[in-house]
């Protein structure tokens, strides 16, 4: 099995690593619903954090429980996996205050799939408001004590320092992979990079670092992974559908960069060491590129995305939005204005697993034909 096949296997068997890790170590596995969390605290407590994801397929088990029709397919899909028992190995669930759909998953998990531990980290919506840092530090302190009580293990500053260093190394390595996509002939396809990024949310960071180092050593000089094609950016709601990216690239494009919380944005922003480690963790949560829900009232995303467009020489963008996603619905006009100002054509696709793939493909093909004429 070559190195890229290892990433593919991890993403296509998303529960296997955590199950094997738990059987081997006897440690606790915690599933999380949002990336606005201090994973370093979890790691320092000896816990394996894993991102809770769906299968990108229609489901029919959530309606009798908590979900109305006006909840995004991704949140329903995640909860469906819990109801179907696919996350029975998870010992705890954590939710960082984000959208109401993710919160409904968290609350449904507590009510209908009882587990030994659940925790809600309450982050302010305006991360740069007066008093926000102090508030976040107190939330992190409470979270630390809660994890210590659950695991029976004190989180020392030394353990937290090791976790911070490990996670910072992981971010540098993964962003190094993304940097290679700036080349005229990127060594990877967008789908391959997406699998590398997603795998890091399913396994421990030490293992992920080793795999990324292997990729950079063996394949960084690989040429022409995709061939000529329109340089595309993907952005929008949470999206872990690798087959969707493969479809886009099969139509004569190169997905050179994304702004997904299941992709590049997850790896943005290091923890800058401070004497007060919780202050350092709080600073990262405040300063890292925000998701739309945390990009108010100040709008930082346009400037951040504009730089990505320039750095990766993007020629077109596809904005994928989960149906009923309020935060990205509000974000879209802002991003649409940015794209128009930079002369970048953008296609908006509403994601719902009930939409036939042929219909989506037709819209993408029409969009690409339009881009080619510009």
Share of the chain above pLDDT 90, in %: 71
- Give the DSSP H/E element, type plus range, for residue 347: strand 346-351
For the segment 195-219, what is each residue's pLDDT rounded down to a tens digit? 999 999 999 999 999 999 999 998 8
Rounded to the nearest 5°, which phi and psi values hold at 349?
-120, 125
pLDDT tens for 91-101 read: 999 998 778 88
The per-residue pLDDT for 331 is: 92
117 with 53: CB under 8 angstroms?
A: no
Q: Does domain 3-151 have CATH number 3.50.50.60?
A: no
pLDDT band at 113 (very low <50, low <70, confident <90, very high): confident
Q: Is the pLDDT of residue 356 over 70?
A: no
Q: In the structure, what pLDDT confidence band is assigned to residue 347 with cuts at 50, 70 and 90?
A: very high
pLDDT band per the 50, 70, 90 thresholds, residue 64: confident
Kindly report, residue by residue over 115-162, the tens digit of the pLDDT.
999 999 999 988 889 999 999 999 999 999 999 999 999 999 999 999
- The pLDDT of 211-238, averaged and rounded, is 85
| pLDDT score at 63 | 82
- Residue 258 pLDDT class (50, 70, 90 cuts): very high
Helix (H) or strand (E) holding 43: helix 39-44
Q: What is the mean pLDDT of residues 173-186?
A: 95
Nearest Cα neighbor of 295 from 91, 303, 68 is 303
Q: Residues near 130 by Cβ (< 8 Å), separated by ≥ 6?
A: none
pLDDT of residue 227: 59
Terminal C-alpha separation, the chain? 42
pLDDT at 66: 65
- Give Cα 37 distance to the centre of its chain: 12
Bridge partners, 31 (sequence order)? 50, 93
Tokens encoding 302: 């346009």
The reported pLDDT for the residue numbered 101 is 85
For residues 248-273, average pLDDT: 95
Confidence (pTM): 0.95
Q: With 70 as the cut, is the pLDDT of residue 251 above it? A: yes
Give residue limits of the domains in the chain.
Answer: 3-151
Q: How far apart are CA 124 and CA 191, in angstroms?
A: 34
Residue 67, pLDDT > 60, answer no
Sheet containing 316-322: order of strands: 253-259, 230-236, 316-322, 346-351
The reported pLDDT for the residue numbered 285 is: 94
């Amino acid at each position: 099995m070559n190195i890229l096949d290892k990433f593919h296997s991890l993403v296509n068997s998303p529960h296997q690593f955590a199950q094997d890790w738990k059987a081997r170590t006897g440690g606790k596995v915690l599933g999380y619903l949002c990336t606005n969390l201090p994973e370093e605290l979890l790691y320092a407590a000896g816990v394996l954090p894993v991102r809770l994801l769906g299968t990108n397929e229609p489901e029919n088990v959530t309606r009798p429980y908590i979900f109305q029709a006006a909840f995004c397919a991704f949140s329903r899909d995640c909860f469906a996996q819990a109801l179907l028992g696919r996350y029975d190995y998870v010992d705890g669930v954590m939710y960082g205050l984000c959208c109401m759909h993710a919160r409904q998953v968290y609350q449904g998990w507590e009510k209908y799939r009882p587990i030994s531990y659940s925790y809600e980290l309450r982050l302010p919506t305006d991360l740069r408001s007066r008093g926000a840092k102090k508030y976040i530090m107190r939330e992190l302190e409470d979270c630390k004590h809660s994890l210590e009580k659950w695991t029976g293990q004190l989180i020392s500053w030394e353990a937290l320092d090791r976790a911070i260093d490990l996670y910072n190394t992981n971010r540098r390595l993964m962003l190094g992979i993304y940097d290679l996509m700036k080349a005229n002939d990127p060594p990877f396809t967008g789908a391959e990079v997406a699998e590398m990024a997603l795998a890091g949310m399913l396994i421990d960071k030490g293992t992920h670092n080793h795999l990324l180092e292997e990729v950079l050593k063996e394949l960084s000089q690989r040429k022409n992974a995709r061939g000529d094609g329109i340089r595309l950016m993907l952005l929008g709601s949470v999206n872990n559908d690798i087959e969707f990216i493969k479809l886009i690239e099969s139509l004569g494009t190169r997905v050179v960069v994304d702004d997904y919380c299941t992709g590049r944005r997850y790896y943005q922003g290091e923890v800058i060491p401070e004497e007060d480690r919780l202050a350092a963790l709080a600073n990262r949560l405040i300063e890292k590129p925000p998701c739309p829900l945390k990009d108010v009232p100040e709008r930082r995303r346009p400037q951040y995305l504009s730089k990505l467009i320039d750095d990766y020489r993007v020629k077109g963008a596809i904005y994928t939005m989960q149906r009923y996603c309020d935060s990205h619905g509000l974000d879209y006009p802002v991003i649409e204005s940015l794209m128009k100002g930079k002369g970048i054509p953008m296609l908006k696709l509403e994601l719902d697993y009930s939409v036939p793939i042929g219909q989506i493909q037709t819209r993408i093909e029409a969009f690409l034909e339009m881009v080619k004429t510009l």
